[in-house]
Amino acid sequence: MNIRKFHHQDTQEIMQLFYDTVHNINIRDYTPEQVNAWAPQYMDYRRWNEHLHSKMSYVAELDGKIIGFAQLEPDGHIDCFYCHKDFQRMGVGSKLLETLETQAEALGIKRVFAEVSITAKDFFEHQGFQVINQQTVERRGVKLINYRMDKNIS
């Protein structure tokens, strides 16, 4: 597995990974209505591409296939963080998080934080994150529960 910076040509594959992961993995903790609002069938390629370019975006790649992606913002916020539905519990998330934390430390960031799904909460707790609070967010008019979590890295 190789972790590298996002390239423009990765956008479509990342969008598919996001959709497939939410609909196959997160469906365990959310209703069909919620996952459809979170990851709709038709997504805007241009908006995704702009979003991926606007942050420090990384992909995990194995044999030329993207098996995960994650984003870091300059304030330590971890935005998107997804592992391919067929590569869960194989170290992809750990490697991506290690990359984000290394980058954050290089930038002088002392704390990373994220809004984490019910599904990902255990992973982040295992990686040393603590729950700050449970919150309800809205996606396309549908309410979902997630957790604001953070971790000191310095």
Beta carbons of 83 and 21 less than 8 angstroms apart: yes
Mean pLDDT across 31-48? 94
| pTM, 2 dp | 0.94
Tell me the percentage of the chain whose pLDDT exceeds 70: 100
Mean pLDDT across 126-154? 95
Mean pLDDT across 47-65? 96
Mean pLDDT across 55-64? 96
pLDDT of residue 65: 97
Question: What would the two tokens of residue 62 be?
Answer: 């194995």
To the nearest whole number, what is the mean pLDDT of the chain? 96
- In CATH terms, the fold of domain 2-109 is Aminopeptidase (3.40.630)
pLDDT of residue 103: 96
pLDDT of residue 145: 96
pLDDT of residue 154: 76
Confidence band of 76 (pLDDT split at 50, 70, 90): very high
27-53 as b/e, with b when 16 or more CB fall inside 10 Å?
eeebeeebbbbbbeeeeeeeebbebbe
Among residues 109, 46, 49, 106, the alpha carbon closest in space to that of 75 is found at 109
Domain boundaries, the chain: 2-109
The whole-angstrom separation of Cα 38 and Cα 50 is: 18
pLDDT per position as a tens digit, 60-75: 999 999 999 999 999 9
